[in-house]
Amino acid sequence: MPDISFVVPVYEPSLDLLGKCVKSLVDQSLKSWEAIFVLDGENDSAAQVIRREMKKCPNHYKIVVQEHSGVQRARNEGFKHTTADILCFLDCDVLIEPEAPRMWVEQFERHQDIGFIYSGYKFLNEQGAINSEPFDPWTLRIRNYISTCFPIRRKFYPGWNESLKSLQDWDFWLSAVEKGAVGKFVEGYAFSTAYPTQKSISGQGCTPEAWLERVNAVKKLHNLPERDICVSSLQAKHEGIFLAKLIGADYQDVPNQKPHNYKTILQLGFSFLPGKYEHHIAMFTEKTRNVLFWTSESIAEIRTMHNWEALEKYGAKLNEVCTQFVEDEAAQKALSPFFKTQVCPLPLAIPEVKPLPKDKRFLVDINANYGPVLDVLAKSLPDVELEPIGDSANLNDYTGLVYFHPDRTTSPNMKRAALLGRAVVSTVPGDFTGFVDPGQSLDKFIPAVTNRIRSLAYSGPDKKAISFYREQCNVEKFKECINA
């Protein structure tokens, strides 16, 4: 039995590209494979190209001919002739990388829990690339980011829906996930393909005029909700997706890239850097309610700008096209000369509060400028462990948080720590946090921080802080703000 079966539908192809596609299969490093070429209607020229390129591998392929019925039926027909456990439905204008199939097979063998593998891919003639993104079933239910031409285990094969006019790939991966398949994202590019046109498989039916009709057809098949709010963030995508999930919104990197029916576009963060301002301002249109939430990173960027005339110009434009929100009064004050903002704290998921650890441990989230200070603090607090923050850190495992940053806006980590009843020692003023003035000299700053950490390390959970931030971080309260 071969390690992988390729199904390649062929209909009125570029014979040059078809030849290169077949040759890329022959030249791959994996030796155990088969290819089922499905001619969607008789095509002697295409069959000759396939036979010519497959001379080196005469036992690796089969040509199947069907009456012209479309690409989905061709793929379904090709599936009937496959024998491998791993299936890959390859377009006939795709040039696969020599090592990609072998890597796929190795990944499937190493990770028995995954149902399909995908990555990025390039367009021929240096016309760009699609990078894709890590697997998230929630995000996949909003938009597709997985090409047709990636491998799937046979047991999760859902079949190709022959009733759809386009977006068959989105329907296919949604159906696979609904069958229990878990995707694995691999960095890099697995193949190159022709840039899609309205005549190509990838481009057919995806015109602006037909887009919503085609999207709605897939949504109906999978009971996907129509949402009024779409979150976007070109600066903080992870946080943007988290916010969208929390408030029951969609997330799109660039919502206006395709036609949509959203009533509100909520943009998290804004940049005035060259090339980014135009991109960010283009998110806001007259047909939607436009909401901008200023992040601490955006405010920090403004602090570095010294051109007041430019800031007045930007402020006038943003004040005209969108409603603007900030985390707290400190952020509002920082923006007040130019931007009209309202205070409405970002919501957070309400976590489970666990008992404080027996050992005194503080998670450290600090700007690089405070590195030398941390070394002194570690020597001054031998009874307290100071641990630099990492991606996997869980605030429930710590006594508190040390947060030293030049911005003056309450950060999500500060709020999360307070929600868990953990102590917060920070250079940023905040409710129920241990503020230490960063403006004082080092010989005063370091003792002040040391005393603050030591006193809070032994004070126990702050129930008032928990209650306060539970109210502040309420999802419904936030939705009322942005919809007011």
Task: Give the pLDDT of residue 198.
Answer: 58
Question: What is the structure's pLDDT at 405?
Answer: 86
Which CATH number applies to 361-469: 1.10.8, 3.30.1490, 2.40.30, 3.40.50?
3.40.50
How are strands ordered across the β-sheet holding 423-426?
385-388, 361-366, 400-404, 423-426, 434-435
**Portions of the chain given CATH number 3.90.550.10:** 4-219
Cα 470 from Cα 484, distance rounded (Å): 21
What pLDDT sits at residue 411?
87
For residue 240, how many C-alpha atoms fall within 13 Å in the half-sphere facing its CB? 25
For residue 417, the 8-state DSSP code is H
Kindly list the distances between the CA atom of residue 143 and the CA atoms of 74, 125, 245, 473, in Å, as whole numbers in the listed order.
25, 27, 14, 28
What are the residue ranges of helices labelled H in 59-198? Answer: 71-79, 100-110, 137-140, 168-178
The domain made up of 229-343 has a fold known as: Rossmann fold (3.40.50)
Q: Which of 105, 107, 126, 104 is nearest to 192 (CA)?
A: 126
Element (H, E) at 160: none
Q: Cβ distance 149 to 193 under 8 Å?
A: yes
Contact 108, 117 (CB under 8 A): yes
Which residues belong to CATH 3.40.50 in the chain? Answer: 229-343, 361-469
**Would you tell me which CATH number, out of the four given (1.10.101.10, 1.10.3860.10, 3.40.50.620, 3.90.550.10), belongs to the domain 4-219?**
3.90.550.10
* Stated pTM of the model: 0.89
**Whether 403 contacts 415, CB under 8 Å:** no
Other residues' Cβ atoms within 10 Å of the Cβ of residue 479? 17
Alpha helices in 328-367 (DSSP H): 329-335
> Which pLDDT tens digits describe the chain residue by residue (484 residues)?
999 999 999 999 999 999 999 999 999 999 999 999 999 999 999 999 999 999 999 999 999 999 999 999 999 999 999 999 999 999 999 999 999 999 999 999 999 999 999 999 999 988 899 999 999 999 999 999 999 999 999 999 999 999 998 899 999 999 999 999 999 999 999 999 998 765 555 555 567 778 899 999 999 999 999 999 999 998 889 999 999 999 999 999 999 988 999 999 999 999 988 888 888 888 898 899 999 999 988 988 888 887 889 899 999 999 999 999 999 998 999 899 899 999 999 999 988 888 899 999 999 999 888 888 888 998 999 999 999 988 778 899 999 999 998 877 888 899 999 999 999 999 988 888 889 999 899 889 999 999 999 999 888 788 888 999 999 999 999 999 988 7
Find how far residue 136's CA is from the centre of its chain. 8
Structure tokens given for 325:
């929100």
Is the separation of the CB atoms in 272 and 302 below 8 Å? Answer: yes
CA distance 166 to 75: 14
Q: Tell me how far apart the alpha carbons of residues 457 and 137 are, in angstroms, rounded to a whole number.
A: 40
